[in-house]
C-alpha cells in the first residue's frame, strides 16, 4: 500500500504539492490524473525518495520513505523510461544488475531475474543486447527491472508516453496481471482513455492538491457527466493540459 499524508513541496516559486493526501491499495490500479503541471511527477519522485518534501509523509507499506529509504524501496518498483535502457546490456544483465542494486545476493538476483524473464515472456530476447529493441521489447525489459525484487508496490510515471498501440496494450495487460497478483499499482497520466480503461481508483489532482477521488464511474456520477473526460474537466474547472 502507498500512502501520502499532507505532502507539500515548493519548487522555486511554484507550490508543486500542496497538502496532498491519498492512499493506493494493494490489488488495485490507482491512477494519478491531472493536467500538465499538476504535481504528478513531483509526487511520484517524492515517493521514490528522489525529492524531499517540505512537509508531510510518504509511506510505502507503512514505512516512512524519509526515515527508512532502503526498506521502503525494497517494497517499491519504479518503472523507468523504456527508452533509456543500457543499450550494451542484454535484458538478463540489465534486470540482474538492478536486482543486485535492490539488495539481493548474486544467487538470489539470478533466480529473481529468471522469474521476471518468465513472467514477462522475455525468453527469446533475454540474451540479446537491448540496442535495436522494439518499443514492446524495451517496455517489457523496463517493467521486468521494476518488479524483479518482487516489490508489493509499483509506480509508473506516464508509462505509455511514446509507446505505440501494441506496446501500450501489452503494458496494460501486464499491469492488470500485477493487480491480479495483489500488487499495488500507481501510475500517473493525463490520458483519459487509459485511466478509464485501467483504474479501480482515480486520484484527480490539480495545482498540487487532490480535487476528487473515486472509480471512473463514481467520478462521472459526482460530476453529473457520462464521460470521464467531461467529468474531469468539470472537476478541475479547466480543460488545459488534458489528452483525450
Q: How far is the CB of 189 from ligand ATP (least distance, A)?
A: 8
- Which residue lies nearer to ligand ATP by CB, 18 or 95? 18
Cα–Cα distance measured from residue 96 to residue 112, given in angstroms and rounded to the nearest whole number: 8
- Which residue lies nearer to ligand ATP by CB, 17 or 148? 17
Q: Strand 14-24 and strand 63-64: pairing?
A: unpaired
- Which residue lies nearer to ligand ATP by CB, 12 or 62? 12
- Which residue lies nearer to ligand ATP by CB, 20 or 99? 20
Q: How far is the CB of 99 from ligand ATP (least distance, A)?
A: 28
Subset of 88-147 contacting ligand ATP (CB under 6 A)? none
Name the E strands within the chain.
2-11, 14-24, 28-33, 55-60, 63-64, 76-79, 153-157, 184-189, 201-206, 209-214
Cα–Cα distance measured from residue 106 to residue 38, given in angstroms and rounded to the nearest whole number: 41
Grid cell, residue 114, equals 529468471
Binding mask 171-200 for ligand ATP (x = CB under 6 A): -------------------x----------
The residue assigned the cell 509526487 is 43
Cα–Cα distance measured from residue 73 to residue 71, given in angstroms and rounded to the nearest whole number: 6
Cα–Cα distance measured from residue 39 to residue 214, given in angstroms and rounded to the nearest whole number: 19
Subset of 1-60 contacting ligand ATP (CB under 6 A)? 11-12, 14, 16, 34, 36-42
Q: How far is the CB of 49 from ligand ATP (least distance, A)?
A: 16
Q: How far is the CB of 154 from ligand ATP (least distance, A)?
A: 18
> Interface residues with ligand ATP (CB under 6 A)?
11-12, 14, 16, 34, 36-42, 190
Amino acid at each position: 500500500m502507498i500512502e501520502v499524508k499532507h505532502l507539500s513541496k515548493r519548487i522555486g516559486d511554484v507550490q508543486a504539492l500542496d497538502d496532498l493526501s491519498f492512499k493506493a491499495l494493494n490489488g488495485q490500479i490507482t491512477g494519478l490524473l491531472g493536467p500538465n503541471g499538476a504535481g504528478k511527477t513531483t509526487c511520484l519522485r517524492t515517493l521514490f525518495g528522489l525529492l524531499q518534501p517540505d512537509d508531510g509523509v510518504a509511506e510505502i507499506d507503512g514505512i516512512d520513505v524519509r526515515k527508512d529509504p532502503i526498506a521502503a524501496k525494497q517494497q517499491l518498483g519504479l518503472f523507468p523510461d523504456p527508452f533509456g535502457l543500457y543499450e550494451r546490456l542484454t535484458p538478463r544483465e540489465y534486470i540482474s544488475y538492478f536486482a543486485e542494486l535492490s539488495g539481493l545476493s548474486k544467487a538470489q538476483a539470478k533466480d529473481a531475474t529468471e522469474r521476471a524473464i518468465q513472467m514477462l515472456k522475455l525468453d527469446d530476447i533475454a540474451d540479446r543486447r537491448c540496442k535495436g529493441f522494439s518499443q514492446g521489447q524495451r517496455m517489457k525489459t523496463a517493467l521486468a527491472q521494476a518488479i524483479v525484487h518482487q516489490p508489493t508496490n509499483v509506480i509508473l510515471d506516464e508509462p505509455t508516453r511514446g509507446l505505440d498501440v501494441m506496446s501500450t496494450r501489452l503494458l496494460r495487460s501486464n499491469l492488470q496481471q500485477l493487480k491480479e497478483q495483489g500488487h499495488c499499482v500507481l501510475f500517473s497520466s493525463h490520458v483519459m482513455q487509459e485511466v478509464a480503461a485501467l483504474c479501480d481508483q482515480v486520484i484527480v489532482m490539480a495545482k498540487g492538491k487532490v480535487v476528487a477521488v473515486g472509480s471512473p464511474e463514481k467520478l462521472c456520477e459526482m460530476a453529473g457527466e457520462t464521460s470521464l473526460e467531461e467529468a474531469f474537466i468539470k472537476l478541475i474547472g479547466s480543460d488545459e493540459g488534458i489528452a483525450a
